[in-house]
Structure 1
Amino acid sequence: MNPIIENSLQSSYSYQEYRNLMQTYAQEGKTTGESTEAYIHYTHLNEARMHRLDKTMQLTPEVAQQLKQLATDFLWVVLAETWCGDAAQVLPVLDKMASHTDKIELRVILRDEHPAVMDLFLTNGTRSIPKLIIIDKVSGEVIGDFGPRPQGAKQLILDYKATHGVVDETAKTELQKWYLQDKGVSIQNEIMELLKLSIA
């Protein structure tokens, strides 16, 4: 395994540990990363979102079936921050997927604490999160990565930017609506596409 990624695991969180951290920060008016009013507000917002998604998020029958057929053991490392709206939508889906099989171990690391890892997985030259890194546990090879958004959500933001020139609060609201309607299905399908060679 890449030593930069391997080192980051020493300060990684399980999903439950990350959720506990987020809950505490939301209650105490804190955030991970740079402490700004906006980020504190988003952390509070995201805590409520993730709480709802943890309860309501469901795997599609196809994905549930495919996860049970995985023949390879994987480590999933996710770069995130508590203030990130996309991370709040993506992480509960990843947790549901990882919890459905003993073939996937999910760990979360904070982007701003691990810039060297982030810089290995830039999106168009930017440190966009969340970013899922999929690692084969036996070989230590990175077999793929996903993020920061599924294709439909990416397109929505690109189209909005093309029309309005900026990504503002309205764009963020539209994005949240998209996630709400999609119910995590696109995320599941796109990640299973990355894993398809490992399905027995």
Structure 2
Amino acid sequence: MKDIISKSLENTYTYQEYRDLVKDLLAEGKSTGPEQSDYILNYSKLNNSRMKRLDKTTKISDETAQEIQKLASPQTWLVLTEGWCGDAAQNLPVIHKMAELNKNINLKLVLRDENLALMDLFLTNGGRSIPKLIALDTDNNVIDTWGPRPKVATKMVADYKEKNGSLDPQFKEYLQVWYNKDKGLSTQEDFVSLIKSTL
């Protein structure tokens, strides 16, 4: 596991580099990942607009900020993501703003489809769900993980799947509306719990 993590850490992007990569690919009519289609491209465009808006509007609560500032030991937050992923677009700006509050947190992003060996170590219910955050100490030991979405939204997804068998476009739209109303607060709550468990 450590070898796979170390190898993945060689191919990382800062948050700004990732944002620039997605934007530059869109300018060429492309998305991240090996699969290219109008469907994926449209999602990438939509997500880029979402992230642009969230970069400007996301606010970190005082309680979250206080907890994050208590983190005294260096950590790397390694996140698997892709430009076409709606959950990543909603959560990455929040994670980025939280990471900025403490110099001990080093946020690094990697593309899932270029790091499948890493992804396959951190599956969610057997699936390659993203975003997936892996919190690492200075020796690249896994402290904790998070993702692919806040606990509240994870329950919504599980309940809908149980009732309807799969996620349809109507639910995906409903989930995005929920994210907009939530304003990143559920993600922040998850991270406060994650940080408290490591203190």
TM-score with structure 1 setting the length:
0.95
The reply to whether residue 179 of structure 1 matches residue 196 of structure 2 is no
User: Could you list the runs of 5+ residues in structure 1 that have no partner in the other structure?
Assistant: none
Give 1:188 deviation, angstroms: 1.2
- More displaced 10-residue stretch of structure 1: 1-10 or 106-115: 1-10
SS of equivalent to 2:145: strand
Contact 1:31 1:82 in 2 (8 A): yes
Give 1:163 deviation, angstroms: 3.0
User: Could you list the runs of 5+ residues in structure 2 that have no partner in the other structure?
Assistant: none
Identity %, equivalent residues:
49
Aligned twin of 2:90 = 89
String of CA shifts for 1:152-198, please: whole Å, max 9, x gaps: 11122222223333211111101101111111111111122112144
User: What are the residue-to-residue correspondences of 1:15-94 with 2, within 5 Å?
Assistant: 15-33=15-33, 34-94=35-95
Aligned twin of 1:151 = 151
String of CA shifts for 1:107-131, please: whole Å, max 9, x gaps: 0000000011001100011111110
SS of equivalent to 1:11: coil
Task: Quote the Cα distance in structure 2 between the aligned partners of 1:157 and 1:197.
Answer: 25
How many pairs were matched up? 198
Equivalent AA in structure 2 for residue 15 of structure 1: Y
RMSD: 1.3
Equivalent AA in structure 2 for residue 95 of structure 1: H
Equivalent AA in structure 2 for residue 188 of structure 1: Q
Task: Quote the Cα distance in structure 2 between the aligned partners of 1:151 and 1:8.
Answer: 26
Contact 2:6 2:140 in 1 (8 A): no
Aligned twin of 2:8 = 8
Spell out structure 1 runs of 4+ moving beyond 6 A. Answer: none
Aligned twin of 1:142 = 142
